[in-house]
Chain A
Amino acid sequence: MSELVESETSPLGQPRSGGPVAMRLENVAVSFNGRTAVRDATFDVTKNRVTSLIGPSGSGKTTLLRALNRLHDLTPGAKVSGRILLEGTDIYRGNITVTELRSRVGMVFQRPNPFPTMTIYENAVSGLRFNGIKKKAILDEAAESSLRAAALWDSVSSRLKVTAGQLSGGEQQRLCIARALALDPEVLLMDEPTSALDPIATLHIENLMTTLKSRVTIIIVTHNMQQAARISDDCAFLLMGEDRAGELIEFDATEKIFNNPADSRTLDYTLGRFG
């Protein structure tokens, strides 16, 4: 692990920012029933930064993201190859259970998906309860701190006992963020978390991400290039190849990707010439 932190560049030549590494991807490829959906993803996710995955539809952003907490495990025919290291531990072959991995790598989905039969409070602590924690004091504290962290506490503290369906879309998504934060994860994966939200709710979530990165490393898939430019520190650009498999074209600091990319295709995409 210390070796990872000290190395100047990642072993496969992709440049990185030099900070401590939260997750390292080495030649990651995902295939479904033998058909490759994304390949050649090699980059380091630096701690306490926001890393965005951008690219047109079909470039494999979401597929790649879902490999990072093994959500493909239950898909029949799905295969993940290459290595994904969380703090130096291979998450597919190393000494880590899926349950532990998912409590250390949280996820927020494209559409807000709070549990509809649970109250706001129950949603916030659902991850802890799934993992067997029953002590009320711990749950109460986790509920308050995670809802505060998701900037939701002030508006819901008086109605923790109402079902989550009564919140607005933006509030529901922040509840989903709180639900993930309650497990105190090291990495938070976000799959187009604002694509179903209005601009104001989107702004709230974006501000939240900037605040949260001091506490958790964020990896976000986004269709919205302005969003990637606004909130991310590092950026991976993916593109669908000729065989319809997505591949990593370029990974660098967001500023470099948008202002001075190494690959001309990256420039074409960020300038809006296609996609």
Chain B
Amino acid sequence: MNVAGLAPTPDTGHELRAEIRRTSQNARARRVLVSRVMMTLCAVAITLAAVPLVMLIFELLQKGIPVLDTTFFLKEPQSPTLLSPNATGGVSNAIIGTLALSIYASIMAIPVGVLAGIYLAESDSKLASVLRIVSQTMAGAPSILMGLFAFSFIIQDLHIGFSALAGSFALAVLMLPVIAISTEISVRNVPQTLREAGLALGAKPHKISLKVVLPTALSGIVTGVILAISRAIGETAPVMLVIAGGYTDSWKPLDPVSALPLTIFMNAKSEWPSLRAQTWGIALVLVAFVFVLSLTARIWASRKQKVGN
């Protein structure tokens, strides 16, 4: 369209546009090829990653399910003899032991860990930054260290003896930094605008922490706690030095107890095939515990997202 008084402009862009079209067609062909190659590589990688996992689950189910019966869940263990080589008894002591250990460890670790996490999130002090480094280091420390510490502190220094208490102490030390760090992150993730809204309504800072920040961060905190418990449940190293692997069912904190991962460790090196077969059942129960816990954690985490918008 020409406006009166203006000379028509020659269409110099024509050749350029044709050139762009040619180049972009070539480029597109190349992109499609690269894309196909990469997608294939991705598929191969996924398969490589999934194969061992699927094999493991298959073997776990195949060998684990046959040994699961009421004796397995409800009876204390027995030693097989030459006359009755299949009399293994059950693992009720280890199931109860694992539950007791995680309950006592949670009672010790959750209050301290959550409060420490809140402190880390709300404070800018030197102490807080030191504590942050300590808990990050502790979270990455090998878990046998916690067992060694519990052994020297609870058993040698306090003379309490091999017990559920000593084991849960070791697990609590293991859980503590995980809970503190996840609490800190959840509290920090509460938007500043919510704190300001509280301030602007005349709320004192401690009220804002209690009534606004904590409820908003709660689902994240709970998720972190559950993940810490599920990590502790599967640990062998920290408990094997201090719980003595008791053969009887006991919820008492001062009694020697056993734990599922420890029983796997003991049975797997047994000369009795019946005990070695039992380890698959124990492993299956342990995986089921952890699976239920992580599922719960996932549900809590998705709840958080719903609240978050």
Contacts and interface: CB of A to CB of B under 8 A. Distances in A.
A115 B200 contact: no
A133 to B, nearest CB: 11
B193 A109 contact: yes
A74 B200 CA distance: 12
Interface string A113-141: 11111100000001101110000000000
A183 B200 CA distance: 11
B203 A130 contact: yes
Interface string A213-247: 00000000000000000000000000000000000
17 contacts: A69-B200, A100-B202, A102-B199, A109-B196, A113-B193, A115-B197, A115-B212, A116-B309, A117-B215, A126-B201, A130-B198, A130-B201, A130-B202, A130-B207, A131-B201, A165-B307, A180-B200
Interface in B178-220: 191, 193-194, 196-204, 207-208, 211-212, 215-216, 218
B308 interface: yes
B214 to A, nearest CB: 9
B202 A99 contact: yes
Given A111-B193, A115-B194, A117-B307, A106 B215 contact: no
B172 to A, nearest CB: 29
A102 B204 CA distance: 11
Interface in B270-308: 306-308
Contacts of A176: 197
B191 A113 contact: yes
A179 interface: yes
Contacts of B207: 130
A179 B201 contact: yes
Contact of B200 (A71, A114, A116, A129): A71
Task: With a 10 A CB-CB cut-off, give which of A113, A114, A183 has the most chain B CB atoms.
Answer: A113
A106 B203 CA distance: 12
Interface of B: 191, 193-194, 196-204, 207-208, 211-212, 215-216, 218, 306-309
B211 A116 contact: no
Grouping DSSP codes into helix (H, G, I), strand (E, B) and loop, the B interface class, with mixed when no group exceeds half, is: helix
Given A116-B216, A117-B216, A165-B307, A71 B201 contact: no
Range class of the A interface residue count: 20 to 34
Contacts of A163: 307
A92 to B, nearest CB: 16
Contacts of B218: 117
A15 B25 CA distance: 68
A71 B196 contact: yes
A107 interface: yes
A69 B212 CA distance: 20
Given A113-B194, A163-B307, A179-B201, 20 more contacts: A69-B200, A71-B199, A99-B202, A99-B204, A100-B202, A106-B200, A109-B197, A115-B216, A116-B216, A116-B308, A117-B307, A127-B201, A127-B202, A127-B203, A130-B198, A130-B201, A130-B207, A130-B208, A131-B203, A165-B309
A194 interface: no
Contacts of B194: 113, 115-116
A103 interface: yes
A83 to B, nearest CB: 21
Nearest to B204: A99
A102 B309 contact: no
A107 B307 contact: no
Interface in A170-228: 176, 179-180, 183
A102 B201 CA distance: 6
Nearest to A69: B200
B307 A131 contact: no
A176 B306 CA distance: 20
B202 A102 contact: yes
Task: With a 10 A CB-CB cut-off, give which of B196, B200, B204 has the most chain A CB atoms.
Answer: B200
A267 B202 CA distance: 39
Nearest to A116: B307
Nearest to A105: B200
Contacts of B203: 127, 130-131
A47 B265 CA distance: 78
Nearest to B207: A130
A102 B307 contact: no
Contacts of A107: 200
A187 B185 CA distance: 36
Contacts of A103: 201-202
Contacts of B216: 115-117
Contacts of B212: 115
Contacts of A100: 202
B25 to A, nearest CB: 41
A101 B200 CA distance: 9
A102 B309 CA distance: 27
Nearest to A97: B202
B210 to A, nearest CB: 10
Contacts of A130: 198, 201-204, 207-208, 211
